[in-house]
Copies of this chain bind each other. A is one copy, B any other.
Amino acid sequence: MAQQKELSSVTEWRIKMADGSSEALAPEPGFACRAWLALKVLIMGLVLKVCNFFRKAWDMGQNEPKKVIHCMKVGMALTVVSVFYYMRPLYEGTGGNAMWAVMTVVVVFENTVGATVSKSLNRICGTLIAGSLAIGIHWVVSQSGKEFEPYINGISVFLLASAVTFSRFIPSVKKRFDYGAMIFILTFSLVTVSGYRVDELLEMANSRFYTIIIGTSLCIMITMIICPIWAGEELYTLITRNMDKLAYSLDGCVGEYFNDSGSSSDGAKASDKTLLGYKCVLTSKATEEAMANFARWEPAHGRFNFRHPWKQYLKIGASMRACAYCIDALDGCVNSDNEAPELIKKHMSKISLKVSSESSRVIKELARTMKTMQKSSTVDYLVGEMNNAVLELQNDLKSLPTLFINPQPLQGTDCPDKKNTGAVALMDILPLVTLASLLIKISTRIEGMVNAVEELAEMGEFKSVANANEKNQCPVSKTKVADEHKEDV
A contact residues vs B (CB 8 Å cutoff): 53, 56-57, 60-61, 64, 67-68, 70-72, 74-76, 78-79, 82, 85-86, 91, 98-99, 102-103, 106-107, 150, 153-154, 157-159, 161-163, 165-167, 169-170, 182, 185-186, 189-190, 192-194, 196-197, 282-283, 285-286, 322, 325-326, 328-329, 332-333, 336-338, 394, 397-402, 405, 418-419, 422-427, 430-431, 433-434, 436-438, 441, 444, 486-489
Write the nearest CB–CB distance from A315 to chain B, whole angstroms: 15
Q: Does B56 lie within 8 Å of A170, measured CB to CB?
A: yes
Q: Closest B residue to A399 by CB, please name it.
A: B423
17 other contacts beyond A57-B170, A76-B158, A399-B423, with CB at 8 A cut-off? Answer: A75-B161, A75-B165, A78-B185, A78-B189, A79-B154, A85-B197, A102-B190, A285-B286, A325-B328, A336-B489, A337-B489, A394-B427, A398-B427, A399-B419, A401-B419, A431-B437, A433-B433
Q: Does A169 lie within 8 Å of B82, measured CB to CB?
A: no
Write the nearest CB–CB distance from A386 to chain B, whole angstroms: 17
Q: How many copies does the complex hold?
A: 2
With a CB–CB cut-off of 8 A, which chain B residues contact A282?
325
With a CB–CB cut-off of 8 A, which chain B residues contact A425?
401
From known contacts A82-B154, A189-B78, A405-B405, infer whether A423 and B398 are also in contact, taking CB-CB under 8 Å: yes
Which one of A158, A163, A401 has the greatest number of beta carbons of chain B within 10 Å? A401
Q: Does A426 lie within 8 Å of B397, measured CB to CB?
A: yes
The 7 closest A-B pairs by CB, nearest first: A401-B422, A75-B162, A75-B158, A434-B437, A398-B423, A71-B165, A71-B162
A-B contact pairs, 20 of them (CB 8 A): A53-B170, A67-B169, A70-B165, A71-B162, A74-B185, A75-B157, A75-B158, A76-B158, A78-B157, A85-B196, A99-B190, A103-B190, A106-B185, A107-B182, A333-B441, A336-B486, A338-B487, A338-B489, A399-B419, A431-B489
Q: Does A166 lie within 8 Å of B488, measured CB to CB?
A: no
Docked pose: A431 CA to B397 CA in angstroms: 13
With a CB–CB cut-off of 8 A, which chain B residues contact A162?
71-72, 74-75
Docked pose: A320 CA to B477 CA in angstroms: 40
With a CB–CB cut-off of 8 A, which chain B residues contact A79?
154, 157-158
Taking a contact as CB atoms closer than 8 A, the residue among B57, B158, B336, B430 that contacts A78 in the complex is B158
Taking a contact as CB atoms closer than 8 A, the residue among B70, B163, B193, B433 that contacts A82 in the complex is B193
Q: Does B189 lie within 8 Å of A106, measured CB to CB?
A: yes
Q: Does B441 lie within 8 Å of A426, measured CB to CB?
A: no
